[in-house]
Copies of this chain bind each other. A is one copy, B any other.
Amino acid sequence: MKIAIDAMGGDFAPLETVLGALEAVRETKHIDVVLVGDETQINKILEDNNEINNPRVTVHHASEVIGMDEHPGQALRKKKDASVVVATALVRSKVCDAVIAPGSTGAAVAAALFGLGRIKGIDRPVIATPMPTVNGITVMLDSGANSNSKPKHLVQGALMGSEYAKLLLGKENPTVGLLNIGEEATKGNEVVLATYPILEKMKTINFKGNVEGRDIPKGAVDVVVCDGFVGNVVLKFAEGLVTSLTQLIKDSIMGGSIFAKIGAMLIKPALKPIAKKLDHTESGGAPLLGVNGVFMISHGSSKAKEIKTAIKIATDLVERKIIEQIRQTVEIEGAVKYEYDE
């Protein structure tokens, strides 16, 4: 198994991306890595870590980097030798089995689309983000690849999300909910109203009807299907709310009595598992589903631990043939596809 890593992607590249890759190599026997980016910088880090001669760690030079604030389409046209583009090409040419792309989500999606192409029957790829809930993990998709989804895009998302949840959650028949503003099938905007009856008819998913915003943190379903605009807003809102609440609580304790400060110290160990649950670096990022290859998008703020986790998830997805699974499911649902495609 060989994983290509855009070593220049993200706020702490290349140091943290390289360190994360090295950790993945050390902790496993079967994962080799190809570090794509500025070879001088990468080699320096490998030397510092005494890994320059490790045969399982290869450096593949790429002379350019796409920054967080560049326009993805324009950057891709201009920078043919960008690290994320070169890493993707290594999967296309079958040198590598999967890509890890930290940094600009827009650039990653564009590189994957142009480099790998879409799976036949899938119109737009989606980002499938695992969200912590009271009783485990819920996969929310799309969380930002498409912000103008039509019913067919949501339907394809439901199909792919369901396949991903089978692998990630180890559930045979994961439940799928359509994110809406009410439980009834007659509620919602034009897009979800048209999506509901198609999801109901599908053979390969376990559709449970509409879910509301409050059902996501409850873990009411395994897969939440929504448009990328809504998903992205909710995801960032969740991050912001957790950060803000933590800040409010800290401020209250610091401004509180000595008893409050002692209380905070005593309570801390009990709260550690929750903090861990809410820590997005635990998740490793989110796969882009619907392209012809395993492609993980990691946070721009990724540190070594997150990169390592992303590499392991990507390896798992390759081994369990997620792309094949999606292809087969698309084939089974073919009839539905044509019906809603008109």
Contact = CB atoms under 8 A, between A and B. Distances in A.
Contact of A189 (B147, B235, B247): B147
Interface stretch (A9-17, A88-96, A113-121, A263-271): A263-271
A204 to B, nearest CB: 26
User: Interface residues of A: mostly helix, strand, loop or mixed?
Assistant: helix
A32 B205 CA distance: 56
Interface string A210-236: 001111111000000011111011111
A3 B216 CA distance: 37
Given A240-B214, A247-B134, A264-B263, A233 B270 contact: no
B248 A274 contact: yes
A236 B228 CA distance: 18
Interface stretch (A46-54, A160-168, A252-260, A320-328): A252-260
Contacts of A212: 233, 236
Interface string A65-88: 000010100000000000000000
Nearest to A240: B214
A245 B86 CA distance: 42
| Leading 8 A-B pairs by shortest Cβ distance | A263-B266, A214-B240, A213-B236, A256-B270, A263-B267, A213-B237, A260-B270, A217-B244
Given A147-B181, A148-B189, A189-B227, 15 more contacts: A69-B184, A134-B244, A134-B248, A147-B188, A148-B190, A181-B233, A212-B233, A214-B240, A217-B237, A217-B243, A234-B237, A253-B270, A260-B270, A263-B264, A263-B267
Contacts of A271: 249, 252
B236 A233 contact: no
Nearest to A248: B274
Interface of A: 69, 71, 133-134, 144, 147-148, 179, 181, 184, 186, 188-190, 192, 212-218, 226-230, 232-245, 247-249, 252-253, 255-257, 259-260, 262-271, 273-274, 277
Contact of A214 (B237, B253, B268): B237
A179 B233 contact: yes
A260 B71 CA distance: 49
A240 B266 contact: no
A90 B240 CA distance: 43
B267 A181 contact: no
22 contacts: A179-B233, A181-B229, A181-B233, A181-B236, A192-B229, A212-B233, A213-B232, A213-B239, A214-B240, A217-B237, A217-B241, A217-B244, A218-B243, A241-B242, A248-B277, A249-B271, A252-B274, A253-B270, A257-B269, A262-B263, A263-B266, A264-B267
A148 B194 CA distance: 13
A257 B267 CA distance: 9
Nearest to A181: B232
B214 A243 contact: yes
Nearest to A241: B217
B234 A213 contact: yes
Contacts of A245: 217, 242, 245, 274
Nearest to A239: B214
B257 A262 contact: no
B262 A266 contact: yes
